[in-house]
């Protein structure tokens, strides 16, 4: 058995080292650019390519050449500067600056972006027509002014398309990274599962041996049975995101038995949950974690026994206890409740609620 397991682990580790390139290739194979994007780009190329011939068809080119202002260094510098500023603002507006109002709906975002593009377009062109005579010392004719509007409109369309392509690239890269991260997590879980195949057999064999030793002690035998059931439940629920409330309560019952074995009448718990809620699903070990949290952080003595309440109200499970902090050191990472909240949000898109009003620590779990 151990030889086969070592072979499986070594084979899996070889795959794990080389999985990155395989994952990236498989992702790239299934990533496609949307047809609408390709159509828009092809249409833009077609229009821009045929633009000179279209202008010639209507004799616009000859008329414009006759009315053009004289070309000079100042003319070129000013036009290049304004086109650069215009392109920069449009690209920023349609990529990075859009994130400022990304919380709004698609229609609202599109409306805001269109309005801002129009304002920038008209504003830059008007500013250019005002600055140009002052800087170059030559006026702009009406036909040339019309051409300037047309050129900036073409630049606007090109910049918007380029911005969309850049945005798609960013989204695509994020998808690749997210898929890669998920693949790595799944592979790591599989590796951990393979490594842990030895542990269950060892532990259950040890529990069986312990059970045979304490066979005449009914309390000890019950304790071993409960502990064995708990460990088996933890292993089986490891592959499941959600379990029924009925299953979780059965597991909690075994955990309560272990706690009562240690604290006797210094620990009590009341579980009051109607049968109609038993098929509702929650993350595994959620209730046990909250009860364990109460045991870990509160004083439990004859003078101050710990009493925990578990009940359902208004579609929520409540786990609460009166706060009596331990005076001794508590070995705790402080991540239990935070991890439970993360699991709830990932699985149910809801957060748990934690409060300590009136000296009562209360955690509310959604079960809707």
pTM of structure? 0.46
Is position 229 within any domain?
A: no
Is position 247 within any domain?
A: yes
58 with 161, same domain: the answer is yes
Is position 234 within any domain?
A: no
Is position 186 within any domain?
A: yes
58 with 177, same domain: the answer is yes
255 with 362, same domain: the answer is yes
Is position 3 within any domain?
A: no
Q: How many domains does the chain have?
A: 2
- Give the domain-ending residue among 176, 193, 210: 193
Query: Can you give the pLDDT of all 368 residues of the chain as single tens digits?
Result: 334 444 444 444 444 444 444 444 444 444 444 566 566 666 666 666 666 666 666 665 565 555 555 667 888 888 889 989 998 898 888 888 888 887 888 888 889 999 999 999 999 999 999 999 898 888 888 878 888 888 888 889 888 888 888 887 777 787 788 778 777 777 766 656 555 554 555 565 566 666 666 677 777 778 777 777 777 777 777 677 888 999 999 989 988 888 888 888 899 999 999 999 999 998 888 998 999 999 988 999 988 899 999 999 988 999 999 999 887 766 666 678 888 888 888 888 889 999 998 899 999 999 86
- Give the domain-ending residue among 193, 225, 254: 193
Is position 224 within any domain?
A: no
Three-state secondary structure readout of the chain: CHHHHHHHHHHHHHHHHCHHHHHHHHHHHHCCCCHHHHHHHHHHHHHHHHHHHHHHHCCHHHHHHHHCCCCCHHHHHHHHHHHHHHHHHHHHHHCCHHHHHCCCCHHHHHHHHHHHHHHHHHHHHHHHHHHHHHHHCCCCCHHHHHHHHHHHHHHHHHHHHHHHHHHHHHHHHHHHHHHHHHHHHHHHHHHHHHHCCHHHHHHHHHHHHHHHHCCCCHHHHHHHHHHHHHHHHHHHHCCCCCEEHHHHHHHHHHHHHHHHHHHHHHEEEEEECCHHHCCCEECCCHHHHHHHHHHHHECCCCCCCEEEEEEEECCEEEEEEECCECCCCCCCCCCHHHHHHHHHHHHHCCCCEEECHHHEEEEEEECC
76 with 173, same domain: the answer is yes
Is position 214 within any domain?
A: no
47 with 155, same domain: the answer is yes
Is position 221 within any domain?
A: no
- Give the domain-ending residue among 164, 193, 222: 193
Question: Whole domain around residue 131: which residue ranges?
Answer: 11-193
* CATH code, domain with 251: 3.30.565.10
49 with 137, same domain: the answer is yes
92 with 185, same domain: the answer is yes
272 with 174, same domain: the answer is no
């Amino acid at each position: 058995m151990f030889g086969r397991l070592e072979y499986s682990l070594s084979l899996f580790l070889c795959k794990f080292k080389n999985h990155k390139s395989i994952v990236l290739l498989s992702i790239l194979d299934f990533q496609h650019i949307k047809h609408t994007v390709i159509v828009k780009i092809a249409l833009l190329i077609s229009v821009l390519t045929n633009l000179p011939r279209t202008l010639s068809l209507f004799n616009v080119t000859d008329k414009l050449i006759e009315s053009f202002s004289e070309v000079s260094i100042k003319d070129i510098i000013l036009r290049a500067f304004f086109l650069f500023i215009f392109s920069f603002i449009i690209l920023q507006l349609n990529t990075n600056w859009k994130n400022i109002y990304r919380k709004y709906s698609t229609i609202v975002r599109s409306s805001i972006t269109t309005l801002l593009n129009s304002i920038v377009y008209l504003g830059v062109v008007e500013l250019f027509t005002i600055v140009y005579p002052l800087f170059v010392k030559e006026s702009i004719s009406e036909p040339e002014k019309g051409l300037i509007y047309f050129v900036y409109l073409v630049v606007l369309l090109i910049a918007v398309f380029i911005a969309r392509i850049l945005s798609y690239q960013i989204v695509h890269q994020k998808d690749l990274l997210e898929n890669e991260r998920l693949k790595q997590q799944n592979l790591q879980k599989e590796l951990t599962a393979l490594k842990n195949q030895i542990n269950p057999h060892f532990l259950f064999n040890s529990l069986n041996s312990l059970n045979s030793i304490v066979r005449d002690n009914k309390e000890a035998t019950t304790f071993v049975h409960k502990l064995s059931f708990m460990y088996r439940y933890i292993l089986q629920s490891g592959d499941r995101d959600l379990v029924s409330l009925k299953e979780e309560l059965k597991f909690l019952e075994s955990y309560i038995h272990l706690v009562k074995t240690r604290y006797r009448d210094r620990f009590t718990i009341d579980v009051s949950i109607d049968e109609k809620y038993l098929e509702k699903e929650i993350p595994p070990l959620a209730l046990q974690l909250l009860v364990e949290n109460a045991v870990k952080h509160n004083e439990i003595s004859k003078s101050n026994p710990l009493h925990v309440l578990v009940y359902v109200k208004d579609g929520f499970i409540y786990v609460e206890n009166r706060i009596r902090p331990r005076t001794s050191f508590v070995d705790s990472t402080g991540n239990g409740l935070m991890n439970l909240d993360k699991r709830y949000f990932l699985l149910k898109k809801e957060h748990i609620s934690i409060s300590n009003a009136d000296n009562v620590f209360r955690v509310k779990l959604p079960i809707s």
